[in-house]
Chains A and B, each alone.
Chain A
Amino acid sequence: MMQMYFLLIPATLLFFVFSVQADEFRFPMPEFESGYHYPEQVLPEAALTNPWVDVLVLALVLALTAWIVLRRRSRRELLALTVFSLLYFGIWRQGCVCSVGSLQNVAVSLIDPAFPLPWVVLIFFLLPLIAALFFGRIFCAAACPLGAVQELFTVFPIQLPRPLDRVLRLFPYLYLGLAVLAVCLDSGFLICIYDPFIGLYRLGGSFNMLLAGGILLAAGIFIGRPYCRYLCPYGVLLGWMSSFSKWHLRIPEKACIQCKLCEEACPYGAIDFPITEAAPLTREQGAKRLALLLGIAPFIVLFCAWIGMTSHVYLARLHPDIRLTERVLAEERGEVEGWTIESEAFRSGKVPIPALLESAHIIQKRYKRGAAWLGAFMGVVIAGMIARLSIVRRRADYEANRTYCVSCARCFAYCPVEEESPCVTQ
């Protein structure tokens, strides 16, 4: 079995080589003097799928997932649905439209009412969130093409230490903040640009992103769903909604016998343990500590906002005009050789360098304010996480964490209380 672990390397390399196919090599066509005429280029007709079909499929998949997870409690059926979603939303629809990326459209439309927000995109954004509000993260379970491919690659999962897992879950918030900042400041749709799996679905893409996708999938063989857990910005929103879910899955449908088997079964660190120990602090002490935390929370937020503001020069590089300005100035100073496509296009236009520079200054100014907001957001997240960890709770049984559980149904087979569980039948 161990020898198979080493096959992780080819899996990573696989995606490297996919990039080979992605790159386009073009050079001038030969100049014929024999009267040969090049055939006219014919573009294939656009084969558009009615977007409402996508909405219908998404709704059906979500409904089916809820039914399978909550009523059928079948991992096998859920896997079949996962494969379907991978084929439909991933391979067939090539990852677009996608709920994860749709949050950017919604964010920019909130900032700029003139930005067109198609109904389909809005529904793709809202439907999984509404579903999460009722049934938990069933979108992650089987409907999301990004989650689907990772779920299939989670073959030999190991559990990360719980503290490490929780700390890494800070990063989706940062990514969410950056993505919203970028779209609000016209710097592009980061989530789409840096989608690590889109290259797989489209059999093409930039080298770096294909490599990133390959590495994530290779790592995902052992560390379940690394993108979903530690990067996905939409997962943050789904987690928030799922926290209030009305009918979230329960590991044992009936009484938990605290056999602890589900804890080992979950590769995503989404099982909350029963809290049986007495709290180290009295109720009064706990309340005081919480009050202290809430008291310093504004200062944490302000400090983070200040840190964010100081890093605006760096963050502003997300904007293509800033990168262009840096490039053009470097070319002017002779620090770099030749021109890039972008700088050549700029130079062939009529915009003078000072105008570009002025535009760059305006963008940097906007980023100063935006980066401060990003820092403040991260401050709220950090303060909130610390406060949440400081609240004394009671839990009698093993439970699926409503924020982090992706309803993958892996734990069902391990639960001896489960009807017809192999643990019982054996």
Chain B
Amino acid sequence: MLRNKSRNFIQKPYLFQLSALVAFASGLFILIICVLMIANYVQIVAMDPVDQPELLALREEFARTPDLDPVMVDRIRALDFLSRKAYFTSQTQLNTGARLLFGAAVVFLISMRLAARWNPKPPGPPLQSATKGHWGRQALIRELIILSAMVLMIAAALAALFTPLEFPPLEQHAQTSAVEAAGDTDAPETAAVTFPVWEDLQKQWPSFRGPGGYGLAHAESVPLKWDGESGKNIRWKTALDAPGFNSPVVWGDSLFFSSADETKRTVHCYDTDSGELKWMQVLPSFPGTPETPPKVSADTGYAAPTMVAHYPYVYAIFANGDLACYDFSGKLIWGKNLGVPENHYGHASSLIAWENLLYIQYDQKKNPRLLALKADTGAPAWEVQRKKISWASPIIIQRTSGPQLILASEKDVDAYSLSDGTLLWTVQCLDGEVAPSPAYTRDRVFVGQDYAAATAILLHDEESSTTAEATWEWDDSLTDIASPLGIGDYFIMATSRGEIVCLNAETGEDHWLEDFDEGFHASPIAAGELVYALDVAGDMHVFKGASDYELAARNSLGDKASATPAFLNGRIYIRTHGYLWCVEEGAEQ
């Protein structure tokens, strides 16, 4: 049979050089095209034709313009067209480049093979069989296989060792499984939940600093004088053994607060009439609940954030990121861990709720966020990325353009839409570690922070939007823990150094500044014309929110206090370090 043996190991130098040259040229061509295409690719990846800043700015401007401006419409269209055209041109270049490359690669491969053919390597002396004897080589292979097997096993064992079991054990999760399963929006039990509206909230003390969270008590006949030692006007007093600085919240005849230490997180519910414990629930572990608690400062503790009561549920958050929802009978509805916040003092921002959403200002070092969860199931509704860490709590204010969620953090005061988290306005005026929450009165939001200037932000309502501008600053005695208070024409600030200052809301003029023996951690609360400021010794200073300082009363409880009192239905509920107090006019213990 005829066999075709064309390979004859004859070298053809000229043909070899020619093919080598072609291979080199095509290789170089490939290299250049590759570099150009990679640059183009990077450009395309970075390109976002529909969200260009100029285009977005124009759109926003267009949205704010009440009348249709044809010039602006044309500008938007032209810019939109240009950016899309640029994008598609780049993509066409990329496709053309890929085809060129494919062709060049074929040329490169053929010329390489031809070069190898015309410069063949003639048969030479053997390589491997001569180097080592058969048995020696076999022994070496055997040893290498054993070694490789060991390396593989060690690698597998190490991989297993360092692969954390990401999922919490089922039994640990079982307690929450049933209730989270109810997170299905079709479940009849959750579908029937109706949450309160603003009018309902105003009749309760649902959150830190009351309805809206800006320290205004919608209450009449608030007790003016009491005495802890004699029991005058003290309806009841209950001893507490519950570590935590959060403030009590009250809904109807239930008072809630939370406590926590390194190992245990607890939600407490007390009867507002008798001061008796209704129920107390220790939180189970949720998926992601850390075994070891995060480091917190002694001043913050593990239960600094105040709960929010949002009938029929009540919510609590803790320093380790655990968030739990209970109903008013103490049954766990849902719970989850939001991830341990990276917070060097400990998480302190309190919760707030509005209609069917629960808001969490989760400002931390890494991945700061504003979360909105569905109040009935805990499912995420929306999420907004934040910029900086903070310890302040959100407030909700009512404007003619709609309610707004106001947040303060380092640098910025931001307002968000409650429904979808759209940023409504932002003012850059803060600095440092921001703990005090914003205050609000009339058309002004007020923020103050030690080591930065206090600022009043004037809001301008338009038909469907609000604009904001900083109007004045004040940088004398500033607060670092207690939140400022807006009352009528004034802003009041109580500092941890024991000063209270009253500023004119419109002009920033300081009307008065009073020094006290003790500092203030609890935020002052306005009830009618009066301001109630509880100092750390447990003394409540009651004075008029007016341009002149006029002390109305000074009431002592004889126990240290950090939490902000709750005001509801003619009573004041005060959580001191060792007791829970109910103050009511005419009551005797």
Contact = CB atoms under 8 A, between A and B. Distances in A.
Q: Do A and B form a real pair?
A: yes
Interface of A: 1, 3-4, 6-7, 9-11, 13-14, 16-18, 20-21, 25, 27-28, 30, 71-77, 152-153, 155-156, 159, 161-164, 166-167, 170, 174, 203, 221, 260-261, 263-265, 273, 275-277, 279-280, 303-304, 307-308, 310-314, 325-326, 329, 332-337, 347, 350, 352-355, 357-358, 360-361, 364, 375, 378, 382, 385-386, 389-390, 412-414, 418-423, 425-426
Given A20-B98, A74-B3, A418-B5, A313 B160 contact: yes
A354 B24 contact: no
A17 B33 contact: yes
B80 A30 contact: yes
Given A361-B170, A425-B8, A280 B135 contact: yes
A354 B169 CA distance: 11
Contact of B340 (A6, A313, A333, A419): A333
A353 B1 CA distance: 72
A270 B113 CA distance: 22
A167 B108 contact: no
Contacts of B339: 332-335
Nearest to B371: A334
- The listed residue with most A CB atoms (<10 A of its CB), out of B34, B116, B186, is B34
Given A159-B127, A310-B157, A333-B339, A16 B34 contact: yes
Contacts of B142: 386, 389-390
B180 A353 contact: yes
Contacts of B186: 350
Contact of A155 (B8, B112, B168, B185): B112
- The listed residue with most A CB atoms (<10 A of its CB), out of B27, B38, B149, is B149
Given A329-B166, A352-B180, A260 B129 contact: yes
Given A4-B112, A73-B3, A167-B148, 4 more contacts: A4-B20, A14-B105, A326-B167, A332-B336
B223 to A, nearest CB: 42
B128 A422 contact: no
Contact of A76 (B6, B116, B138): B6
A264 B115 CA distance: 20
A314 B160 CA distance: 6
B379 A347 contact: yes
- The listed residue with most B CB atoms (<10 A of its CB), out of A16, A326, A354, is A354
Given A273-B129, A311-B156, A14 B24 contact: no
A329 B7 CA distance: 63
B180 A7 contact: no
Given A260-B126, A310-B156, A332-B288, A170 B38 contact: no
A74 B123 contact: no
B419 interface: no
A21 B95 contact: yes
B49 A27 contact: yes
A153 B113 CA distance: 8
Given A159-B128, A352-B181, A334 B338 contact: yes
B71 interface: no
A43 to B, nearest CB: 20
B579 to A, nearest CB: 36
Given A3-B24, A167-B144, A389-B142, A360 B167 contact: yes
Interface in B247-301: 287-288
A422 B23 contact: no
Nearest to B341: A334
Contacts of A73: 3
A10 B170 CA distance: 52
Contact of A329 (B40, B48, B105, B288): B288
Interface of B is mostly: helix
Nearest to B29: A10
Contacts of A382: 145-146, 149
A56 B487 CA distance: 90
B170 A357 contact: yes
B156 to A, nearest CB: 4
Given A27-B49, A75-B7, A329-B288, A334 B157 contact: no
Nearest to A354: B177
13 contacts: A1-B119, A7-B24, A10-B34, A30-B80, A155-B116, A260-B130, A277-B134, A314-B160, A333-B337, A347-B380, A354-B177, A357-B173, A413-B9
A304 B148 CA distance: 13
Given A7-B24, A11-B105, A334-B367, A325 B166 contact: yes
B417 interface: no
A412 B123 CA distance: 12
Contacts of B336: 332
B156 A308 contact: yes
B589 interface: no
Contacts of B113: 152, 155
Contact of A203 (B49, B98, B129, B287): B98
B95 to A, nearest CB: 6
A404 B213 CA distance: 76
B476 to A, nearest CB: 38
A11 B24 CA distance: 12
- The listed residue with most A CB atoms (<10 A of its CB), out of B5, B31, B144, B369, is B5
A71 B37 contact: no
Given A21-B98, A275-B134, A426-B8, A334 B321 contact: yes
A325 B337 CA distance: 15
A389 B138 contact: yes
Nearest to B30: A10
Nearest to B50: A27
Contacts of B141: 162-163, 166-167, 389
Contacts of A412: 5
Contacts of B97: 17, 20
A174 B123 CA distance: 36
B464 interface: no
Contacts of A358: 170, 177
Interface string B113-139: 101100100011111111001110110
B101 A163 contact: no
Nearest to B38: A17
A280 B132 CA distance: 14
B1 A71 contact: yes
A307 B9 CA distance: 52
A263 B128 contact: yes
A334 B166 contact: no
B123 A264 contact: yes
B145 A333 contact: no
Contact of A277 (B124, B135, B168): B135
Contacts of A276: 134
9 cross-chain pairs, A with B, having the tightest CB-CB distances, nearest first: A7-B27, A333-B339, A334-B339, A260-B126, A10-B30, A354-B177, A13-B34, A422-B8, A311-B160
A3 B369 CA distance: 55
A389 B23 CA distance: 43
A244 B170 CA distance: 51
Contacts of B181: 352, 354-355
- The listed residue with most A CB atoms (<10 A of its CB), out of B20, B126, B186, B369, is B126
Nearest to A421: B5
Contacts of B156: 307-308, 310-311, 314, 375
Interface in B344-392: 362, 367, 369, 379-380, 385
Contacts of A334: 321, 338-339, 341, 362, 367, 369
A43 B173 CA distance: 48
